[in-house]
């Protein structure tokens, strides 16, 4: 295999042992990184492209998306912006149930095509790994169709790596018995999804007007018993004890946490559960931020994700989420970058990416920007100059 790579004015490794390097080289050997360090130390014979004053970072990792959807929710968005309440819209059959109807009516092929398009656009923004949840199928056959579409999209070339999550409890489909639905999900669907290796994680929406701690516990325990990880939507609208449940289950993450108690934060810190912050959603809903300083003080690992979905986070842009994490949540640009690289990868159980170091996957971005702190500034435009996923160029230098 021919060694190839880049030399650049600046390389932000996101490796705690290295930090950022000036006048450095990143050398790839196929799908992995062979060398990160001073230009002069690069292996002889490597074909190196000099990208000048641009900065190189690890590829971004989007650890929370609902990117497998079809349809459009522009009508309810206008209602919501005019003062309609998200929960009232949901009660009236909008929100998640609106996407459910579109996904239920769609073929697996149509879902796959929509997701592949979104993943390709995410790659142009510098994203090289994307967690994708099911959760709009709601009924078993449509959840399984959505997971099959996610698997097909993941097998496409020229898209980011995909981590599939079975969002087992998102909303109740119309006309089902609540207790029977939860029991079927926990006792039948979770084991089936595990057996078919359709997901690495199981997720549940633990909130007022969503699912209770007891319901999420049943599904989370089933996930753990069948070898799957757990991620939970927690405290978006109210704190009902989801953080404590996540700690009890040994979950990988709690996501949202606009509402979380000091005891919940302690429980996360003690159990090593990451907090995935979703600033696009709280911006769209006009909510105050989660307690970022208290989470940091407690030593909870912070992740920032796009939450890409057709309702509360109408974007595909992780860089936009990072911009809002800095502007609205008070995170520093360095905290935001780690939250979308090393910390995000760790929350997905992926130790082979999110850093630039020898032996890691060759997932990287050359930004058309001079410094990693600039990633949170040019809002709403794609500034990735080159993007490589496992050694494959998905965005090539112009
Ligand atoms: Zn979500």
* Cα 127 to ligand 1 centroid, rounded to whole Å: 18
* Cα 381 to ligand 1 centroid, rounded to whole Å: 23
* Cα 64 to ligand 1 centroid, rounded to whole Å: 6
Q: Strand 364-367 to strand 302-304: parallel, antiparallel, or no bridges (unpaired)?
A: unpaired
Identify the pLDDT of residue 211.
98
| pLDDT band for position 82 (cuts 50, 70, 90) | confident
* Cα 95 to ligand 1 centroid, rounded to whole Å: 12
* Cα 237 to ligand 1 centroid, rounded to whole Å: 13
Q: Stretch 228-235: mean pLDDT, rounded?
A: 98
Q: Which two tokens stand for residue 339?
A: 């939250």
| pLDDT band for position 378 (cuts 50, 70, 90) | confident
* Cα 50 to ligand 1 centroid, rounded to whole Å: 39
| pLDDT band for position 93 (cuts 50, 70, 90) | confident
Report how far residue 103's alpha carbon sits from residue 247's, in angstroms, rounded to the nearest whole number: 32
Q: What is the pTM of this model?
A: 0.97
Q: Stretch 187-199: mean pLDDT, rounded?
A: 98
Identify the pLDDT of residue 96.
86
* Cα 309 to ligand 1 centroid, rounded to whole Å: 8
**How do residues 263-294 score in pLDDT, each as one tens digit?**
999 999 999 999 999 999 999 999 999 999 99
**How do residues 46-65 score in pLDDT, each as one tens digit?**
999 999 999 999 999 999 99
Identify the pLDDT of residue 5.
97
* Cα 19 to ligand 1 centroid, rounded to whole Å: 31
* Cα 67 to ligand 1 centroid, rounded to whole Å: 10
* Cα 348 to ligand 1 centroid, rounded to whole Å: 15
Three-point CA angle 241, 291, 20, nearest 5°: 120
* Cα 13 to ligand 1 centroid, rounded to whole Å: 29
Identify the pLDDT of residue 83.
84
Asked whether the predicted pLDDT for residue 86 surpasses 80, the reply is no
Q: Where are the beta strands (DSSP E) in the chain?
A: 3-12, 20-29, 32-38, 47-50, 55-58, 60-62, 127-133, 161-169, 201-206, 229-234, 253-256, 274-277, 302-304, 364-367, 384-389, 392-395
| pLDDT band for position 317 (cuts 50, 70, 90) | very high
Asked whether the predicted pLDDT for residue 307 surpasses 90, the reply is yes
The residue with greater pLDDT, 77 or 202, is 202
Report how far residue 121's alpha carbon sits from residue 127's, in angstroms, rounded to the nearest whole number: 9
* Cα 28 to ligand 1 centroid, rounded to whole Å: 34
* Cα 252 to ligand 1 centroid, rounded to whole Å: 15
Element (H, E) at 220: helix 213-225
* Cα 383 to ligand 1 centroid, rounded to whole Å: 26
* Cα 98 to ligand 1 centroid, rounded to whole Å: 16
Asked whether the predicted pLDDT for residue 91 surpasses 80, the reply is no
Identify the pLDDT of residue 141.
96
Report how far residue 332's alpha carbon sits from residue 372's, in angstroms, rounded to the nearest whole number: 12
| Average model confidence (pLDDT) across the chain | 96
Q: How buried is residue 40: exposed, middle or buried, by Cβ count under 10 Å (0-12/13-18/19+)?
A: exposed
Identify the pLDDT of residue 374.
97
* Cα 387 to ligand 1 centroid, rounded to whole Å: 26
Q: Stretch 87-98: mean pLDDT, rounded?
A: 79
Return the DSSP state at 341: T
How far is CA 47 from each of CA 2, 29, 44, rounded to the nearest angstrom? Answer: 8, 11, 9
Q: Which residues pair with 256 in a beta bridge?
A: 234
Identify the pLDDT of residue 1.
65
Torsion of CA 69, 119, 344, 194, to 10 degrees: 60
* Cα 197 to ligand 1 centroid, rounded to whole Å: 22
* Cα 342 to ligand 1 centroid, rounded to whole Å: 20
For the ranges 33-42, 78-87, 102-111, 209-218, the lowest mean pLDDT is seen at 78-87
* Cα 164 to ligand 1 centroid, rounded to whole Å: 13
Dump the DSSP string for 117-182: HHHHHHHHTTEEEEEEE--S--SHHHHHHHHHHHHHHHTSTTS-EEEEEEEEES-PPTT--HHHHH
Report how far residue 349's alpha carbon sits from residue 344's, in angstroms, rounded to the nearest whole number: 9
* Cα 66 to ligand 1 centroid, rounded to whole Å: 6
* Cα 204 to ligand 1 centroid, rounded to whole Å: 9
Identify the pLDDT of residue 253.
98
Q: Which two tokens stand for residue 348?
A: 């997905």
**How do residues 157-188 score in pLDDT, each as one tens digit?**
889 999 999 999 999 999 999 999 999 999 99
* Cα 129 to ligand 1 centroid, rounded to whole Å: 17
* Cα 307 to ligand 1 centroid, rounded to whole Å: 5
Percent of the chain scored above 70 by pLDDT?
100
* Cα 266 to ligand 1 centroid, rounded to whole Å: 23
* Cα 62 to ligand 1 centroid, rounded to whole Å: 12
**How do residues 254-270 score in pLDDT, each as one tens digit?**
999 999 999 999 999 99
* Cα 12 to ligand 1 centroid, rounded to whole Å: 29
Which residues are within 8 A (CB) of 83 and not within 5 positions of it... i.e. 6 or more apart?
none
* Cα 15 to ligand 1 centroid, rounded to whole Å: 28
How far is CA 140 from each of CA 145, 146, 181, 365, rounded to the nearest angstrom? Answer: 9, 10, 10, 38
């Amino acid at each position: 295999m021919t060694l190839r790579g880049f030399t650049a004015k600046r390389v932000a490794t996101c490796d705690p042992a290295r930090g950022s390097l000036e006048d450095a080289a990143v050398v790839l050997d196929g799908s992995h990184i062979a060398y990160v360090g001073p230009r002069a130390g690069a292996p002889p014979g490597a074909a190196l492209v000099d990208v000048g004053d641009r900065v190189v970072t690890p590829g971004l990792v989007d650890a929370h998306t609902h990117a497998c959807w079809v349809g459009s929710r522009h009508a309810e968005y206008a209602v919501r912006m005019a003062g309609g309440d998200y929960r009232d819209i949901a009660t009236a059959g909008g929100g998640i149930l609106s996407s459910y109807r579109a996904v239920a009516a769609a073929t697996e092929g149509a879902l796959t095509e929509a997701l592949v398009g979104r993943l390709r656009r995410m790659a142009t923004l510098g994203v090289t790994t994307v967690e994708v949840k099911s959760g709009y199928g709601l009924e078993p056959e449509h959840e399984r169709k959505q997971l099959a579409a996610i698997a097909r999209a993941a097998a496409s070339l020229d898209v980011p790596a995909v981590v599939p999550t079975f969002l087992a409890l998102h909303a109740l489909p119309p006309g089902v018995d609540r207790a029977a639905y939860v029991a079927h999900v926990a006792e039948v669907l979770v084991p089936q999804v595990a057996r078919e290796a359709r997901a690495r994680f199981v997720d549940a929406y633990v909130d007022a007007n969503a699912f209770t701690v007891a319901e999420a516990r049943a599904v989370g325990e089933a996930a753990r018993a069948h070898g799957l990880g757990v991620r939970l939507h927690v405290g978006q609208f109210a704190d009902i004890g989801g953080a404590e449940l996540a700690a009890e289950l040994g979950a990988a993450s709690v996501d949202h946490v606009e509402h979380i108690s000091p005891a919940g934060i302690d429980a996360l810190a003690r159990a090593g559960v990451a907090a995935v912050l979703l600033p696009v959603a709280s911006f769209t809903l006009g909510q105050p931020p989660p307690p970022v300083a208290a989470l940091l003080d407690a030593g909870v690992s912070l992740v920032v994700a796009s939450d890409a979905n057709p309702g509360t986070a109408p974007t595909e842009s992780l860089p936009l989420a990072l911009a809002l994490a800095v502007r609205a949540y008070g995170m520093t640009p360095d905290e935001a970058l780690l939250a979308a690289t090393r910390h995000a990868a760790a929350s997905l159980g992926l130790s082979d990416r999110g850093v630039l170091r020898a032996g890691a996957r060759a997932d990287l971005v050359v930004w058309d920007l001079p410094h990693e702190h600039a990633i949170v500034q040019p809002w709403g435009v794609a500034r990735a100059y080159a993007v490589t996923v496992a050694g494959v160029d998905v965005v090539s230098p112009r």
